[in-house]
Amino acid sequence: MASVKTRLGILFGGASEEHPVSVKSAREIAANLDYGRYEPFWIGITKTGAWRLCNGPSPDWDGDDGRPAVLSPDPSIHGLLVLAQGRYETVRLDVVLPVLHGRFGEDGAMQGLLDLSGIPYVGCDVQSSAVCMDKSLAYAVARSAGVATPEFQVVSRDEDVDADSLTYPVFVKPARSGSSFGVSKVAYPADLPEALAAARQYDSKVLIEQAVAGHEVGCAVAGNGAELITGEVDRIDLSHGFFRIHQESAPESGSENSAFVVPADIPAESRVRVTETAKALYRALGCRGLARVDLFLTDDGTVVLNEVNTFPGMTSYSRYPRMMAAAGMPLTEVIDRIVALALPGDRR
């Protein structure tokens, strides 16, 4: 007797600056999904926020082949309302994989809608998504857990900053945006106004952080509660500037200023410290399912939080799948694990 496939709703795209990255992540998911185990329902969200049930994240997924669809907030539907021939049909889903990055994907908005729908979903809940998305809140939680963070100050939209009062270099970044969008490294007071204006294009709340001298490292984490697994720690090898791969013109072929070293070429004791700090942060921030914890490792061995991505990139060049693959877990297995964690009986 054939086993019943899990009806998996896969959300991708989204109305944020990370829309193209999300589509690339969805394509990598499609290439590595176990179709003997899952019946996928691909739900693409256009840049304007329109939902379409389509055949997958192909180049023309948002064209005429897609059908308008919405996620029903009525838990008795437990799935989608799809417009077909002038009337709505229902499509029941067992679980949702929200392959969405940045605003409206990792900030708790989508998670709130999924909670209303009653459908289990992969990844962090509303609270942990919102806290991790807001770097100032994540730093407050990290500090309360005994983990170091950069020195920083929060600047509102109309607030003036005394540029001469800062110790340079500093990073100016949106408090609630993904990747490196709107992020600037500032070495001189005269450059601060332009950096603030760039960050304010993405968020009214801006952080000014003291630059941390050290290696940029990361740790891929998966699991719920006490049962966590990690990938190999990686290190970003920078030739100049700062890491901003999603702003490259062709990131699949490499970066102009950075390369990944996986496993990281750091001492064994430092690798353990990075991994344990990542797991401590994951728990303190209430993460579930998966997250990538980005950190700094200073020359004296101190581990400093950079940021936590609650649904990290899954593209062919992304760090999370590379770290997991280096630890012996290919993407197909990663997908199986994080989906299983979301299903009833596993999510806790």
> Can you tell me the distance from the alpha carbon of 44 to that of 42, in angstroms, rounded to the nearest whole number?
6
Q: Give the active site residue among 9, 44, 123, 313.
A: 313
> Can you tell me the distance from the alpha carbon of 11 to that of 69, in angstroms, rounded to the nearest whole number?
11
Give the containing element (helix H, strand E) for 323: helix 319-326
User: In which region does residue 234 sit, left (phi positive, over 0), alpha (psi from -120 to 50) or beta (all else)?
Assistant: beta
Backbone phi and psi for residue 326, each to the nearest 5 degrees, phi listed first: -65, -25
Give the containing element (helix H, strand E) for 109: helix 109-117
Identify whether 21 is a catalytic site residue.
yes
With vertex at residue 195, the alpha carbon angle to CA 190 and CA 200, rounded to the nearest 5 degrees, is 140
Identify whether 282 is a catalytic site residue.
no
> Can you tell me the distance from the alpha carbon of 231 to that of 320, in angstroms, rounded to the nearest whole number?
8
> Can you tell me the distance from the alpha carbon of 295 to that of 314, in angstroms, rounded to the nearest whole number?
19
Q: Which of 141, 134, 123 has the alpha carbon at shortest distance from 292?
A: 123
Parallel, antiparallel or unpaired: strands 227-230 and 206-210: unpaired
Q: Give the active site residue among 21, 172, 262, 303.
A: 21
Q: Give the active site residue among 135, 176, 246, 322.
A: 246
What's the token pair of residue 229?
């697994």
| 160 three-state secondary structure | coil
Q: Give the active site residue among 13, 17, 18, 24.
A: 24
Report the greatest alpha carbon distance in the chain: 73
Q: Give the active site residue among 101, 135, 271, 279.
A: 101
Q: Give the active site residue among 146, 252, 328, 348.
A: 252
Identify whether 78 is a catalytic site residue.
no
Identify whether 221 is a catalytic site residue.
no
Identify whether 19 is a catalytic site residue.
no
> Can you tell me the distance from the alpha carbon of 1 to that of 322, in angstroms, rounded to the nearest whole number?
36
Q: Give the active site residue among 38, 282, 317, 320.
A: 317
Q: Rounded to the nearest 10 degrees, what angle do helices 109-117 and 126-133 cross at?
A: 170
Q: Give the active site residue among 292, 319, 322, 337.
A: 292
Identify whether 24 is a catalytic site residue.
yes
Identify whether 91 is a catalytic site residue.
no
Tell me which residue has tokens 């003036």.
160
Give the active site residues: 21, 24, 101, 246, 252, 292, 313, 317
